[in-house]
């Protein structure tokens, strides 16, 4: 994932979170959690790359 894709993923995640807290819809909650997991996975992936490079 490149930085632009990550940006849009995080933007989607935040929009879903705002929507959930506005309406408390369980479907929106599941969508927000899925996006959060994708963001967490990408953060971990990049951390591993940086660690392998010694950064």
How far is the C-alpha of 29 from the C-alpha of 27, rounded, in Å?
5
Q: How confident is the model at residue 55 (pLDDT cuts 50, 70, 90)?
A: confident
Give the three-state DSSP class for 31.
Answer: helix
Helix%, strand%, coil% for the chain, nearest 5: 90, 0, 10
How far is the C-alpha of 53 from the C-alpha of 55, rounded, in Å?
6
pTM of the full structure: 0.89
Average pLDDT value for residue range 42-47: 98
How far is the C-alpha of 42 from the C-alpha of 47, rounded, in Å?
9
Residues 5-41 have pLDDT tens digits of 999 999 999 999 999 999 999 999 999 999 999 999 9
């Amino acid at each position: 994932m490149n930085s632009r894709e990550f940006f849009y993923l995080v933007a989607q995640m935040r929009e879903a979170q705002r929507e959930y807290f506005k309406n408390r819809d369980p479907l929106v909650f599941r969508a927000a959690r899925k996006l959060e997991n994708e963001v967490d996975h990408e953060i971990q992936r990049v951390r591993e790359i940086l660690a392998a490079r010694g950064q």
